[in-house]
């Protein structure tokens, strides 16, 4: 049986630490949360992922990556939880690890001593405020010298005034430069007491270069966009350093980096422009419109590529030859977004064309991320804009995408983006996008300004139907829903565009959600606590489903694939409707946050609060037939979105959810290994008895085997008897018991269906008996000496003979016999039903004309398949034909015996024939039965059946 298992984790947040190129410049190493990922520079695909062992708890995030200069296939990685690890990034194996015991943010190798490292560590200390005199906690940074051989550390330098935020080694490792918010320090490695504090400046970013043909200097950047070059080495005591200024940036300089040959200084900041400074001439070049604020800059050893880390959780690979972006490596771009201002309103929507997940990216964009391949597919600017910088400290409010939906073939996409700054009014745009295969992107085809008066609450595109136009439906707070139709261009002068086809409303209520059936013939719109069904082509109302209390508002509604069920969810309940009968199949109290239906299977998932712990959430997978969940997965962190993603055909869809670390957690079905022989039979038997709504109320069925899996493994399997027993009430074998239990379980399946759709008891009797018993047909024995044909002895319907079941005579000859046993408590009833069913009367008197009962099957089931849980025989079941027997040579038949040329008929077959004969003779029809099955009519129909059998 397929089981749901965690498959992998993808996506995540690319850390703020610098990306590092491998020495051959073929790969890029980036931090991704607590993992380290290796990307291909050519393809941008993930080559390897370095994960700490599961025992390393709590896991910290990656803070720094450094290539080991003594072994170029290894990297040092520091973590925020105080772990220092040495990885072989080619094999993915961890070479060594050290626990420092304090949060780490940077690592540098001592070029003169192989066993020494310099670490930038941070700890929280208590200090007294000079203003209030109260004790406050502050983070204090310090530079540690760590001995990898002895695994010991010591404080090398610590500022008494400020927190150290950055450090590096200069002059071939003889001088350590440490920077704080307002100053930087020069520390002699050989003599730690030789410390020189330089002038104050604004918050810096520090990098040091030692040029063989230029005097060494320190470059710093401040919050005003200025870059200072400090020539502070080899100064006489009391001499002030000489500095020069490079100024272009309007805001904070986020990072500085020198090319390996020292001819260029590269800077970046909030302006999304990369600036190249030629140090000798002072000229500059620009690479604009990188898409987001620049946070880090890295350069490959061969100076062929630049890795530009951006604030939108991506890294651009820029070619130094033509200054163009070759590849973009990205995580989940909403990871670095203020979710309180820009929440994930678009949810997780699957693109049918690429199977990628569409979700909110950076403000004003939609990101398509393939969770299975762990690859960023494309980023669509729903609201194109020029990246301009702010003039004042006030943040610029960007447009935000509220809705996104795709057509079932992926050719069209519909979006709604909104910008509301609470000052100049609300700007809302409905846009229809067409996929362009040549460029593999979407382009705007139609834009509708202010499609509704107020916010747009729902947006859906109807599944395509042959010969009908493509339709989309939107709903808004103006209490209207609008139907949009795609009008194809017939001539060269015309253009393909979307137009408003019709407008509808219902009782001045606001529509909250829209759903379409699989074939697109029915549209469901949730208005308050009511679900309305419409014809999307004519906008005609078909039905109204009203079950929840008026105080509840339906937030989600979905059709279940391949079934007549529709599920609606409020904040406190889940309701499943059967559209064939227009009734609620079941309801469940749950604190629902999200609901989604599988587009390829008859199941749906619900994101709801954990009943045991309301602070946590669970993902529950349901079948529309039962409120008992198929899967319940508790979430350790907050879930930001969940959906179904296409999976292998054999295993069905996957469940993908986005956790609070912005990683996609993927669940998929993995088939259990195929089992043969006795082990496979035992597993099959264990799966016969499954909990259902009926059994959860009234208890387990007596026909279900109560053997536990462990007992079943230990119990020996008896061999099947060589010859079948002749007596009907003979003690059965265990194998026959299990078979009977399975048959009985199937027979009782109709009890799972609602009572108003179950057929009349007169129609259920024969199919029910066929499910739990096999017909026994006895061949005719001919006594050649006497010339008399023996037949099965008849049985008194009112009771058993004095001899009981064992005294019943069994004729000789071939026969089909079924010994019915399920449990010792029902053995008597089983024997009774067996004899009652297979016995034929010795002499069949002429039956009186019987009234033909009126068909009590509900009209809703006519011409429709039977629901799961109610066997097909409950809807309409023909009488099964009796098994053929092998007769002997025919002789003259005695009175009351069955002619040898004809097959013996069961009592039920004769009852049906008599009913037909009575109907043709003009007998009066019986009174119709109630949909729920009237008890009086049931008794009458049973009495007529028994009378006819006699």
How far apart are the C-alpha atoms of 104 and 78, rounded to whole Å?
6
Query: pLDDT at residue 546 above 90?
Result: no
- pLDDT for position 689: 40
| Strands of 400-406's sheet in order across | 400-406, 412-420, 426-436, 441-449
Query: Phi and psi for 749 in degrees, rounded to 5?
Result: -65, -30
Could you give the angle at the alpha carbon of 944 between the alpha carbons of 940 and 948, nearest 5°? 170
The mean pLDDT of 13-25, rounded to a whole number, is 92
Tens-place pLDDT, residues 35-45:
999 999 999 88
* Low-confidence winner among 191-200, 413-422, 491-500 (lowest mean pLDDT): 191-200
pLDDT at 680 over 80: no
What's phi and psi for 825, nearest 5 deg? Answer: -70, -15
Checking if the pLDDT of 867 tops 80, the result is no
Full-model pTM:
0.69
Instruction: Grade residue 759 by pLDDT with cuts at 50, 70 and 90.
Output: low
* Whether residue 891 has pLDDT greater than 50: no
pLDDT reading at 720 higher than 60 = no
Residue 818 pLDDT more than 50? Answer: no
Mean pLDDT of the chain: 75
Q: If pLDDT is split at 50, 70 and 90, which confidence band does 563 have?
A: very high
Tokens standing for 417? 């983006």
In this predicted structure, what is the pLDDT of residue 700?
A: 54
- Taking alpha carbons only, the member of 573, 646, 648, 647 closest to residue 606 is 573
pLDDT tens, residue by residue, 292-341? 899 999 999 999 999 999 998 999 999 999 999 999 999 999 998 989 99
pLDDT mean over 733-741 = 45
- Return phi, psi of residue 512, to 5°: -110, -25
Q: Does 212 score more than 50 pLDDT? A: yes
Which has more pLDDT, 163 or 226? 226
E strands along 159-209, which residues?
166-170, 175-179, 184-188, 195-197, 206-209
Give the count of alpha carbons within 13 A of 406, CB side only.
20
Query: Which has more confidence, 444 or 232?
Result: 444
Q: 219: part of which helix (H) or strand (E)?
A: strand 217-221
Each residue's pLDDT tens digit, 104-151 = 999 999 888 888 999 999 888 777 666 676 777 777 888 999 998 888
Between strands 116-128 and 103-109, the pairing is antiparallel
What is the rounded CA–CA span in Å between residue 851 and residue 800?
29
| Chain-centroid distance, C-alpha 227 | 48
pLDDT at 711: 40
Q: How far apart are CA 217 and CA 206, in angstroms?
A: 11
Higher pLDDT, 819 or 586: 586
Distance from C-alpha of 576 to C-alpha of 566, rounded to nearest angstrom: 6
Higher pLDDT, 405 or 900: 405
Please indicate whether residue 676 or residue 633 has the higher confidence score (pLDDT).
633
pLDDT of residue 871: 34
pLDDT, greater one: 929 or 298: 298
Q: Where are the beta strands (DSSP E) in 349-450?
A: 349-350, 357-360, 365-370, 375-381, 400-406, 412-420, 426-436, 441-449
Task: Give tens-digit pLDDT for 583-600.
Answer: 999 999 999 999 999 999
DSSP string, 515-568: EE-TTSS-EEEEETTEEEEEETTTTEEEEEEE-S-TT----EEEEPTTSSEEEE
Q: Given this model, what pLDDT does residue 390 score?
A: 65
> Do the beta carbons of residue 947 and residue 918 sit within 8 Å?
no
pLDDT for residue 793: 38
pLDDT band with cut points at 50, 70 and 90 for residue 670: low
| CA-CA-CA-CA dihedral for 80, 85, 86, 91, to nearest 10 | -100
Q: Is the pLDDT of residue 95 over 60?
A: yes
Confidence check: pLDDT of 85 > 50? yes
Residue bearing the bigger pLDDT, 773 or 21 = 21
């Amino acid at each position: 049986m397929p089981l749901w298992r965690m498959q992998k984790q993808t996506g995540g947040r690319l850390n703020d630490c610098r990306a590092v190129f491998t020495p051959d410049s073929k790969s890029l190493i980036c931090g991704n949360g607590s993992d380290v990922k290796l990307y291909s520079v050519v393809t941008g695909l993930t080559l390897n992922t370095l994960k700490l062992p599961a025992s390393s708890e709590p896991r910290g995030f990656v803070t720094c990556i450094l290539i080991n200069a003594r072994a170029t296939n290894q990297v040092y990685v520091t973590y925020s939880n105080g772990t220092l690890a040495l990885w072989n990034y080619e094999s993915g194996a961890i070479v060594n690890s050290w626990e420092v015991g304090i949060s780490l943010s940077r690592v540098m190798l001592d070029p003169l001593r192989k066993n020494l490292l310099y670490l930038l560590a941070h700890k929280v200390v208590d200090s007294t405020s000079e203003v209030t005199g109260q004790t406050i906690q502050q983070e204090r940074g310090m530079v540690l010298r760590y001995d990898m051989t002895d695994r010991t550390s010591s404080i090398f330098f610590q500022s008494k005034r400020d927190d150290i935020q950055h450090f590096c080694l200069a002059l071939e490792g003889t001088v350590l430069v440490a920077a704080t918010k307002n100053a930087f320090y020069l520390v002699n490695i050989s003599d730690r007491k030789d410390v020189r504090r330089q002038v104050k400046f604004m918050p810096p970013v520090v990098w040091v270069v030692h040029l063989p043909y230029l005097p060494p200097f320190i470059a710093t950047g401040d919050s005003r966009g200025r870059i200072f070059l400090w020539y502070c080495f080899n100064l006489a005591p009391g001499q002030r350093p000489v500095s020069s200024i490079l100024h272009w940036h309007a805001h904070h300089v986020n990072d500085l980096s020198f090319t390996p040959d020292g001819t260029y200084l590269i800077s970046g900041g909030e302006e999304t422009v990369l600036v190249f400074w030629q140090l000798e001439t002072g000229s500059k070049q620009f690479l604009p419109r990188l898409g987001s604020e620049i946070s880090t800059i890295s350069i490959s050893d061969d100076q062929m590529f630049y890795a530009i880390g951006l604030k939108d959780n991506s890294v651009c690979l820029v070619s130094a030859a033509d200054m163009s972006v070759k590849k973009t490596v990205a995580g989940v771009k909403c990871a670095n977004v203020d979710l309180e201002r820009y929440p994930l309103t678009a949810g997780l929507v699957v693109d049918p064309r690429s199977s990628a997940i569409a979700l909110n990216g950076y403000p004003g964009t939609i990101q398509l991320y393939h969770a299975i391949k762990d690859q960023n597919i494309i980023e669509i600017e729903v609201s194109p804009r020029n990246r301009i910088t702010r003039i004042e400290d006030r943040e610029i409010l960007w447009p935000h995408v509220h809705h996104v939906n795709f057509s079932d073939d992926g050719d069209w996409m519909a979006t709604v983006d909104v910008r509301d700054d609470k000052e100049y009014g609300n700007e809302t745009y409905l846009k229809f996008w067409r996929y362009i295969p040549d460029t593999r992107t979407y382009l705007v085809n139609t834009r509708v300004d202010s499609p509704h008066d107020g916010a747009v609450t729902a947006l859906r595109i109807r599944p395509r139907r042959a010969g009908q136009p493509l339709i989309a439906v939107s709903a808004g707070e103006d209490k209207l829903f609008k139907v949009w139709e795609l009008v194809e261009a017939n001539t060269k002068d015309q253009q393909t565009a979307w137009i408003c086809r019709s407008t509808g409303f219902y009782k001045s209520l606001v529509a909250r959600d829209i759903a379409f059936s699989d074939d697109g013939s029915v549209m469901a719109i949730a208005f308050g606590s009511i679900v309305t069904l419409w014809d999307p082509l004519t906008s005609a109302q078909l039905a109204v489903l009203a079950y929840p209390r008026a105080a509840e508002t339906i937030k989600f509604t979905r059709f279940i694939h391949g079934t007549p069920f529709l599920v609606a969810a409020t904040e406190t309940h889940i309701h499943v409707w059967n559209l064939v009968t227009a009734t609620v199949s079941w309801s469940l109290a749950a604190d629902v946050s999200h609901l989604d239906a599988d587009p390829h299977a008859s199941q749906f998932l619900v994101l709801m609060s954990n009943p045991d712990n309301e602070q946590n959430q669970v993902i529950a997978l349901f079948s529309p037939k039962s409120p008992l969940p198929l899967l319940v997965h508790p979430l350790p962190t907050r879930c930001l979105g969940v959906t179904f993603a296409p999976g292998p055909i054999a295993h069905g869809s996957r469940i993908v959810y986005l956790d609070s670390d912005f990683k996609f957690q993927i669940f998929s079905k993995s088939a259990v290994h195929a089992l043969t022989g006795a082990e496979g039979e035992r597993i099959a038997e264990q799966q016969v008895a499954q909990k259902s709504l009926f059994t959860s109320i009234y208890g387990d069925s007596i026909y279900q085997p109560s053997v536990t899996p462990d007992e079943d493994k230990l119990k020996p399997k008896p061999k099947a008897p060589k010859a079948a027993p002749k007596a009907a009430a003979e003690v059965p074998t265990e194998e026959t018991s299990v078979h009977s239990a399975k048959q009985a379980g199937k027979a009782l399946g109709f009890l799972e269906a609602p009572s108003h759709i179950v057929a009349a008891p007169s129609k259920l009797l024969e199919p029910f008996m066929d499910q739990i018993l096999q017909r026994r047909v006895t061949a005719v024995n001919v006594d050649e000496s006497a010339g008399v044909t023996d037949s099965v002895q008849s049985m008194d319907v009112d009771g058993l003979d004095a001899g009981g079941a064992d005294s019943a005579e069994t004729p000789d000859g071939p026969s089909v016999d079924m010994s019915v046993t399920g449990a010792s408590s029902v053995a008597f009833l089983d024997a009774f039903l067996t004899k009652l069913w297979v016995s034929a009367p010795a002499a069949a008197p002429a039956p009186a004309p019987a009234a033909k009962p009126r068909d009590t099957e509900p009209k809703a089931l006519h011409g429709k398949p039977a629901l799961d849980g109610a066997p097909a025989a409950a809807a309409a079941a023909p009488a099964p034909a009796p098994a053929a027997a092998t007769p002997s040579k025919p002789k003259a038949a005695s009175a009351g015996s069955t002619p040898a040329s004809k097959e013996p008929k069961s009592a039920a077959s004769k009852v049906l024939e008599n009913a037909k004969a009575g109907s043709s003779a003009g007998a009066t029809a019986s009174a119709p039965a109630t949909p729920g099955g009237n008890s009086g009519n049931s008794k009458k129909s049973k009495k007529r059946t028994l009378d006819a059998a006699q």
